[in-house]
Structures are given as structure tokens and as C-alpha cells.
Structure 1
Amino acid sequence: MNFESFREKIAYQPILLGVFALLASGALAWASSATGDAIAAAEAKDLRDSLAEVLPQGMADNDFLKDTVDLKKGEKTITIYRARKDGVVKAALFKVAERGYAGDIQVLMAVDSEGKTLGVRVLKHAETPGLGDKIEVKKDKWIKDFDGKSLGDPTPEKWGVKKDSGVFDQFAGATITPRAVVKAVKGGLEFFAAHKAEISG
């Protein structure tokens, strides 16, 4: 049977398509394998850099990316990264989120063993540029107002924006956004307090 007559057979096109699909999937598998380690290393570096932003320098001598505990918060699982010095847990780093004006606002926070915030940063949000984006540290220093705060300082009823009789500033025309961040941070501190024994283990 010559090639021309084979082309006229009904099975020719599906076979050819199958061969190309196998070649394409093989190429994708090879590319994924070749770049997988580099991608994982880049993601680990990004995470380590983000965690280091909220953790004061010299506070940990361990690799906190490898010292974790997963805890439940409602239906969600929160990964706690534990910063240790000389084997003792000095701080917990974790992400929390609350609904803002345009979507969830994801917050990364570090809390010391006494329940005080060491640092807070917004990792992800969809708030209005020029209004709600002042929660980003590169746009405004507002987020640094959480440094050193705890559930007792300010008192629970003062954990709010000034419009709600709290101590934190709001933004003109964008009260919902800072209100969500305040709620997220307070919720994070409450979560830490509720799970302190598990985190410190």
C-alpha cells in the first residue's frame, strides 16, 4: 500500500492527530520537568522575601518555610510559618483575608510570642487605584500603624477605623477598604491567641 492510498483511508486523520497529540504532550511534559525545579525555587524565594518583610531581621535562625503547622479557621486551612531562635518559637507568620470593596484583601502578618504584631503587609487586593490601594506599603505608610499592636492595645472596642470610633485612620472615599484590613488583622490576632499552644509547639 503506497502513501497516497493510505491517505485515502478513513483512519489516516485520527492516527495523524494522535501522533501529534503524543508529540505535543511529550514536549509539554519535558518542559514542565525541565522548568519545575526553577519555578518551585522562584516561588519559595518570593514567599521567603514576603515573610521576611514582616519579620524583623535577626529574629529567626531557622528556615521557617520548612517549619510549619496547618490549622483550621472555619472551613479554611491556614499555614503557620514558625520563626525560631535557638529552637524557641519567637513569631508566627501567616495569611488572613477579609472582603474589601472589590474583592478579598489578602494580608500577611507576623505575630510575636506575646501576641503583638511585628509587621503587616497586604499581599493581594483588587481595590480602587488611587483610593483603596493606599493599603499597599509602597503607596502609603498606613499599614505600618499595625506594628506593635495587640488585642489589648488598642482595646477590642477600639479595633476599628476612626469613623467607627476606632483608632485607625480611614481613607477619604474608601472607608470599606481600611475597615476590611483592620478586621483581618484583628481576626489574625484572635486566631493566634486561640491557637497559641499549637503554634508554639
Structure 2
Amino acid sequence: MENPATAGRSVARNSIILGIFAMVTVGLIAVTQQSTAERIAEEIRRVQLSALTEILPDEQHDNDMLNDTFVVDDRELLNLLRPSEAYRGRQDGEVVAVILPVIAPDGYSGRISLLVGIRANGELAGVRVLNHRETPGLGDKVELSKSRWVLSFDGKSLTMPMPEDWGVRKDGGAFDQFTGATITPRAVVQAVYRALQYFDENRGSLLELPNQEPANG
């Protein structure tokens, strides 16, 4: 029979080993999570910068839009789930455009996240889709990489086309739908129009707001 003292030392030694193993494992998990979080954040930043530059090319602004931000918190028109960052484009210090985060809540497969750029005169600078779960080959044509459809918003405004024409052609509107897919483009068109309404209602604060000050609709 094993000596009680020896058995006690063995249990203690095993406990220490297990404790060290647990600490090392936790440490490795923490490092992995931190590394993964940093990579995800960097990828999000890369996608955002790409979208911002596509909406408002470098020659149309002279500021760092990723660092010229403010917070919008609007659930009625922008359909945001939480306060979110929006961006300004400036030329010689003057705000020439704002780029708003917008959610189309009624896509075929759920929410569609957009960035909607609006010039100071109320015209659309551009629209880009950041995230969606729409059907590949059908609804995913909202992506510029899959179709030029999203470019049809460029230059449009609240009154061009007229409000009654802000819809897809199947609904009597001015915008094309996709063959075999109407719900997705309908959702995006309506979301972009609501973003224009939000801009129109908050134009003064959006164009004159100092950095980081909330703009609530």
C-alpha cells in the first residue's frame, strides 16, 4: 500500500501540473482570441476603407475619412440596432459629403448592411453593401463585385426620381429588379430612400457637426 505521505505529495504534484497546464491553455486561448480579434478588426477596417473610397474617391476629399467620424443613432429611418459610426468627407476643411451606416431590415434572408454616401447638396455619392446573407446568384447582385446594379443610385436624390418612383419596376418604380429576385433590390431601394430622408431632416447637424458628437434623428 502506498505511503499516505507519498500519496499526498503525488496528488499535490499532479494538482500543480494540472494547474500549470490550465494556465497555459487559458493563456494560449487568450492570445489566440486577441490575435483573431485584431485580424477581424483589421479586415473590417480594410473593407470599410475600400467602400468609403469607392463611394467618395480620393480626388473628391482630402481628409482621412476613417478618422473623421461621428455617431448616429436612429432606428426609424436608418434602422440601426445600436449607435454606429458615420463618416465625413472634407475638401479644404468643408464637409462635402457624409457616409451613413444604414440597415435594410427586410432583405430576403434578413438584414442588409449598407453605407450610403450623400453629398452636401443632397445627391447620392454612392451606395455599397457591407454585409448580407442574400441568395448567391440572385440577391447577391447588390454587391458591386457581382453586378453594376448598385451604381444606379449614383447622382439620385429625394426628388430625382420623384418620391413615388423610389421603388423597383415591378412596383411601378424607377429601379430595376433582378431576374428571379425582387425582395432584395426592393429592400435596398427603400433603405437608400430612407437614408436620404434622414439626411434631409438632419442636414444642418450632419454637415456642421464636430467630431464624435452624436447626431440623433
Distance 1:41 1:130 in 2: 28
2:142 pairs with 1:140: no
| TM-score, structure 1 normalization | 0.86
Deviations 1:27-60, CA, capped at 9 Å, x for gaps:
4445566787676555433321221111133111
Name the structure 2 match of 1:156.
163
Name the structure 2 match of 1:91.
97
Count of aligned positions: 200
C-alpha distance 36-122 of structure 1, shift in aligned 2 (>3 A): closer
Name the structure 2 match of 1:200.
207
C-alpha distance 32-130 of structure 1, shift in aligned 2 (>3 A): closer
Structure with larger RCO (C-alpha < 8 A, sep 6+):
2
Name the structure 1 match of 2:21.
20
2:78 pairs with 1:76: no
Identity of aligned residues (%): 43
Name which of 123, 126, 135 aligns with 1:119. Answer: 126
Name the structure 2 match of 1:108.
115
Deviation at 1:15, TM superposition (A): 4.2
Deviations 1:141-182, CA, capped at 9 Å, x for gaps:
111110000001011111001111110011222111110010
Q: Which moved more, 1:185-194 or 1:142-151?
A: 185-194
Q: Which amino acid aligns with 2:88?
A: R
Distance 2:8 2:26 in 1: 26
C-alpha distance 125-165 of structure 1, shift in aligned 2 (>3 A): same
In structure 2, list runs of 5 or more residues that go unmatched: 76-80, 209-217
Name which of 5, 8, 29 aligns with 2:7. Answer: 5
| TM-score, structure 2 normalization | 0.80
Distance 2:187 2:93 in 1: 35
In structure 1, list runs of 5 or more residues that go unmatched: none
Name the structure 1 match of 2:213.
none
Name which of 179, 183, 195 aligns with 1:188. Answer: 195
Q: Check conservation: 1:80, 1:199, Cα contact below 8 A.
A: no
Q: Which moved more, 1:103-112 or 1:148-157?
A: 103-112
Q: Check conservation: 1:56, 1:118, Cα contact below 8 A.
A: no
Distance 1:53 1:61 in 2: 15
Distance 1:197 1:170 in 2: 34
Distance 2:187 2:82 in 1: 18
Deviation at 1:190, TM superposition (A): 1.1
Deviations 1:7-34, CA, capped at 9 Å, x for gaps:
653x665543332221223344455667
Q: Which moved more, 1:70-79 or 1:55-64?
A: 70-79
Distance 2:10 2:56 in 1: 69
